[in-house]
Structure 1
Amino acid sequence: MVSKQANLEALLYAAGDNGLEEQNLIELLKMDEKELTVIINKLQKNLSTDPDAGIQLIHIAHSYKLTTSPQTAKIIEKYFQKDLTKNLSQSALEILSIVAYRQPITRVEIDDIRGVNSSGALQTLIWRGLIKPDGKKDAPGHPKLYVTTDYFLQYFGYQSLADLPLIEDFEDNADNEEVDLFESKGKMDKQIQEGK
């Protein structure tokens, strides 16, 4: 008989990059939330303590998914053969910050905040999987609304948008040197620039 942990792994593998919400796992595995938590914790522990594990189980926004572990990043980059060595421009980093804190937001609204056209850098962020279009605004022309992705959360080590640093933290430092919006979780914009 197949164990519940094996079924959990198979489901998460089959779900791929989208992962599965807790409630769906409870229904599919026919167990309660407490039992699911026990199995998930066991699987996370097994994967995190095995130095040879190439995958990890992460929890993002009420969903669980299997992802490659950080130590396998170089081989995964080679596999996808994306030009990850290309730096994100300063404008792309500005746009990423604006979308993170103001989402959902249109390109025109981003342009208004920055005072310049953002379309090129916006496309770069979409290509990198950090932001995505998510519906249209109920306004003339029905412009696309942009939001950050689960990959954005995963990349910066956040479980939800509620983990983002508070804007007030940056306003308090207005007279000090420039502050990195994503430094608080140990993943900096510099890592994106370096293609890490």
Structure 2
Amino acid sequence: MALLFVAGDQGIKEKDLAGLLEIDSAALRQNIEELKIKLMTDVDSGIQLVDYNNVYKLVTKNEFSDLLTRYFKAGLGTKLSQAALEILSIIAYRQPITRIEIDEIRGVQSSGSLNTLLMRKLIKENGKKNVPGHPNLYVVTDEFFDYFGIKSIDELPKIENFEDITNTGDIDGEN
């Protein structure tokens, strides 16, 4: 079961699992069936073993879907990625700002992380920029302040206090 757990969403192919366990496919299928039954009959377990085209995965039982949906909607199940934190800091320091302006600062496309921040209500749309296409303007929300435990943008570190690591001349570890 540990192998299935660490395999996560991608699961493990039957032949790979048999190879790792050093057993033949028939013995593996028997062990899999026993584990499926054990997990399905255990009322204290929220996990079941499934087989998708000879790829085995551990997944949550259907009866827990409402609870898990509430958990993820509450934002408790995820930490912010490095990209989301970068975007959040750009918005906090440069608000109101458009996605295109964020992309220009970062040098990469930001819509995925931007959507995550919107879903977590750390940012919100706040009008349209008066330019062709009228892109959305983004600002931080009260939830942003709660998340970081601050009361206003003035409590953020002054951007002038950050050292520009690209201009330090410390390429080989010497100053």
- TM-score computed with the length of structure 2 as normaliser: 0.51
Aligned partners of 1:172 and 1:135: how far apart in 2? 32
Query: Structure 1 residues 141, 172: CA separation in 2 closer, same or farther (over 3 Å shift)?
Result: closer
Kindly name which structure, 1 or 2, has the bigger radius of gyration based on alpha carbons: 2
In structure 2, distance between residues paired with 1:166 and 1:79 = 38
Q: How far 1:98 moved relative to its partner?
A: 0.4
Spell out, residue by residue over 1:26-79, the C-alpha distance to the aligned partner (whole angstroms, 9 max, x if none).
Answer: xxxxxxxxxxxxxxxxxxxxxxxxxxxxxxxxxxxxxxxxxxxxxxxxxxx989
Letter in 2 for 1:138: N
Residue 115 of structure 2 aligns to a residue whose secondary structure is helix
Instruction: Name 1:90's counterpart in structure 2.
Output: 82
1:87-136: CA deviation from partner (whole Å, max 9, x where unpaired)? 32211111011001000000000000011110000000111111111100
Match of 2:124 in 1: 132
Aligned pair 1:148/2:127, yes or no?
Answer: no
Deviations 1:7-34 (A, max 9, x none): xxxxxxxxxxxxxxxxxxxxxxxxxxxx
Q: Which residue of 2 aligns with 1:109?
A: 101
CA RMSD of aligned residues (A): 2.4
> How far is the alpha carbon of 1:143 from its aligned partner?
0.2
SS in structure 1 at match of 2:126: strand
Q: Deviations over 1:151-189 (max 9, x none)?
A: 1112212111111110012127875xxxxxxxxxxxxxx
Tell me, in whole angstroms, the C-alpha distance in 1 between the residues paired with 2:162 and 2:151. 21
Q: What are structure 2's unaligned runs of at least 5 residues?
A: 1-66, 169-175
Show the counterpart of 1:44: none
Which amino acid is the alignment partner of residue 111 of structure 1? D
**Residue of structure 2 aligned with 1:157, choices 149, 157, 165:** 149
Amino acid at match of 1:81: Y
Distance (Å, rounded) in 1 between the aligned partners of 2:105 and 2:82: 15
Question: What percentage of residue pairs aligned between the two structures are identical?
Answer: 61
Corresponding residue pairs, total? 99
TM-score relative to the length of structure 1: 0.46
Q: For CA contacts below 8 A with separation 6 or more, give which structure has more relative contact order.
A: 1
